[in-house]
């Protein structure tokens, strides 16, 4: 069963706009991660936020974590056509296997 569920399932925006994706999970976590998957490719790790962190930045990415609500959000600012991909959240109990959500398909129109 999937631990994380992303929302929305699909998102279409114009280049330059911000994209926000949300993730909800069910059980306690050690960390939460976001991955990106281009069509036909493997997943690529974007950013990890620990359970004791509330916000983290990496370039145009901003991730928030609310453990009381068991939710996280990924914000991509000033989106580009090259950001078109599926984005997954994944939760991990430390160094063991990750559980992935169902993903958000992001389409950035040039």
Partner 1 sequence: DAGVIQSPRHEVTEMGQEVTLRCKPISGHNSLFWYRQTMMRGLELLIYFNNNVPIDDSGMPEDRFSAKMPNASFSTLKIQPSEPRDSAVYFCAIPPPPGNTGELFFGEGSRLTVL
Residues that bind partner 1 (CB under 8 A): 2, 30-31, 33, 41-45, 48, 50, 88, 92, 94-103
35, burial (CB in 10 Å: exposed 0-12, middle 13-18, buried 19+): buried
Least CB distance to partner 1 at residue 100 (A): 4
Q: Which is nearer to partner 1, 28 or 109 (CB)?
A: 28
Least CB distance to partner 1 at residue 63 (A): 13
Q: Which is nearer to partner 1, 84 or 101 (CB)?
A: 101
| Phi, psi for residue 99 in degrees, rounded to 5 | -110, 125
Least CB distance to partner 1 at residue 15 (A): 26
């Amino acid at each position: 069963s999937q631990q994380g569920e992303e929302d929305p399932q699909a998102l279409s925006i114009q280049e330059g706009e911000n994209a926000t994706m949300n993730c909800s999970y069910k059980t306690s976590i050690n960390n939460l991660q976001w991955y990106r998957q281009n069509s036909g490719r493997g997943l690529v790790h974007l950013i990890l936020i620990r359970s004791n962190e509330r916000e983290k930045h990496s370039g145009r990415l901003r991730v928030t974590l609310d453990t009381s609500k068991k939710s996280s959000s990924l914000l991509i600012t000033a989106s580009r056509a090259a950001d078109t991909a599926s984005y997954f959240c994944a939760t991990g109990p430390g160094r063991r296997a990750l559980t992935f959500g169902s993903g958000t398909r992001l389409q950035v129109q040039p």
